[in-house]
Amino acid sequence: MLKSVLKLCFAAIAVNILFAAAFAGQPRVAVVVKTLTGDVFQLKMAEAARDKAIELGADATIYQAGGQTAVQRMVQIIEDLITQQVDVIVISPLDSKAVVPVFQQAKEEGVIIVCMDQVAEGDDYVTFISTDNYAAAALGAEFAKEQLGGKGKVLVVEGAPGSSVGDDRKNGFKDTIVKDSRIEVVGSQSGYWTNERAMAAMENMLQANPGVDLVFSCSDGMTGGILEAIKLAGKEGRIKVISFDGSSFGIELIKEGKIIADVAQFPIKIGQMAAEIGIGVFNGTVDPASLPKFIDSGTKLITAENADESLADAF
């Protein structure tokens, strides 16, 4: 019922935006993400935001920082966009603290900011649209507890330091996996959202904790490296793996029996919603004061039982 109501609400917003666009002028929209290379989630989210903005009558362009840790480059991009006097910035901030000063400057200059996937500290953005990463990771942890029978040793491969998304996934999994169980988190290191760094982190943790039963990967973008480290350690088939993203890559790993589950999120939906709200605020069809600071874009747990049907809708 709630999903149906939300769909109707956003459909109404889109109609109002198109009607208002003729009177408000063409907004200039900047879509800013971490990278478009090696991160299909960011790519699909950025393309969805840009395409929706164009559909709603905007002039929209994608900008990328160029890497998973290119924090200063992202700050520079925002500074340049303020100078260019764009109307709306739809952004996935790399670091929740580093962008705060430029977000404040952008707001003072009248730029509308909508956060997607990751959020910044402060309240200079109108809303934040994302998976509830804490709750989603907790969903994966509950499944892990079932698979381990409530006891065992687990590892966590985290995202990049400073990432609000990475922190929420790490904490959601850790807090839940140990609750009412005899499961111990014996290692947790950053994989910096890349296969190479995740592989190195996994190798380090396996050397220190050879008897682990399960590993939680905070992103499909690191799971390939984790699996390679497990293979090199001679532990294929002995360590269970749960990943996060629900990409077609992750789902194929489930079908191949290499991981047992993947927590899915929906980048296209996130990007589209972010563009609709940003342009709606610009056109005056959306009152920013009426928006919640966080809008949950939803999640689901993918296992061998629903992998085939989930693959049809995967990014």
**Residue 10 φ then ψ, to 5°:** -70, -30
| Percentage with pLDDT > 90 across the chain | 88
Q: Is 306 helix (H, G, I), strand (E, B) or coil?
A: coil
**Residue 305 φ then ψ, to 5°:** -70, -30
Query: Between the CA of residue 13 and those of 6, 49, 186, 285, what are the distances in Å?
Result: 11, 15, 48, 7
Distance between CA 232 and CA 89 in Å, rounded?
Answer: 44
Instruction: Render pLDDT for 248-301 as a digit per residue (tens, 0 to 9).
Output: 999 999 999 999 999 999 999 999 999 999 999 999 999 999 999 999 999 999
**In this model, does residue 20 exceed pLDDT 70?**
no
Instruction: Render pLDDT for 97-137 as a digit per residue (tens, 0 to 9).
Output: 999 999 999 999 999 999 999 999 999 999 999 999 999 99
Distance between CA 310 and CA 251 in Å, rounded?
Answer: 8
pLDDT at residue number 43:
95
Instruction: Kindly state the tokens that stand for 118.
Output: 């990751």
- Torsion, Cα 87 92 98 104, to 10 degrees, reads 30
Average pLDDT over every residue of 204-223: 97
Average pLDDT, the chain: 93
Q: Is 267 helix (H, G, I), strand (E, B) or coil?
A: helix
**Residue 46 φ then ψ, to 5°:** -65, -45
CATH class belonging to 2-130+267-296: alpha beta
Q: Is 201 helix (H, G, I), strand (E, B) or coil?
A: helix
CA proximity to 189, closest of 166, 214, 212: 166
Q: Which superfamily is assigned to 133-264 in CATH? A: Response regulator (3.40.50.2300)
CATH 3.40.50.2300 intervals, the chain: 2-130+267-296, 133-264
CA proximity to 262, closest of 305, 203, 199: 305
Distance between CA 135 and CA 154 in Å, rounded?
Answer: 19
Instruction: Render pLDDT for 51-74 as a digit per residue (tens, 0 to 9).
Output: 999 999 999 999 999 988 899 999
pLDDT at residue number 5:
42
pLDDT at residue number 162:
85
Residue type at 107? K
Instruction: Kindly state the tokens that stand for 227.
Output: 């699996």
